[in-house]
Structure 1
Amino acid sequence: MNTTLMGTILIVEDTPSEMELMSHYLKESGYSVISAVSAREALNIAIEHKPNVIVTDIVMPGMSGFELCRNLKKHPATEKVPVVICTSKNQEIDRLWGMKQGADAYITKPFTREQLVRAIKSVVV
């Protein structure tokens, strides 16, 4: 693995344009990016690759980002991996629920590159 990179980020997003934007921002900022288009796929990738941070959408077919967060925090291989929820759900109740599911940070769309990178940096120990 290339040690000059700042870490590996797993992006879980079912909208191609959003995935593209996040990948671009993170690669530009020096991160290595792996991606999943569903929460189930993300669970398997996270267990196998142990990314430094997971950025997930909430509204996805099948399992939601909230469920993904709960499952990640329950699994020994991924319980310590920080989760950043990135969603268009901008109500305070959504943010509180996200944090209750184990999310480490919560940002809303649309976001700037700075907001995304700041959220990731804030959860990496």
Structure 2
Amino acid sequence: MNLETFRQYCLSFNGATEDFPFDESTLVFKVKGKMFALTNIDRFESINLKCKPEDCIELRERFDAISPGHHMNKKHWITVATKTNIPNNLLKELIQNSYHLVVQNIPKKLREELEKR
């Protein structure tokens, strides 16, 4: 997956927005103000994604390209190396799971607003 495909996929989710809250090279995708994915656009070597703690452990054990979230809470985030043989369908699934985890944890009123779109 290249940067533009990643960007388009993240923005395809209901209510997803993109932002550069940290610096001019760290692209962050959010839903209702909460991050679900981020990457460095200058290098696009990895993607940080939210993950269920039990899934984080299993994924790190199964794939060398998946490690604890770089500069993130290691229990709830993973870093996926993009320049590896991680299948695109798995990467898309991990992005989708990250988005849904964030949506599950936002207030009910905000979730209902997303459902109306």
Query: Which range, TM-score by smaller chain?
Result: 0.3 to 0.5
The normalised TM-score by structure 1 is 0.38
Task: Pick the structure with more helix per residue.
Answer: 1
Q: Select the structure of larger CA radius of gyration.
A: 2
Greater strand share, structure number:
2
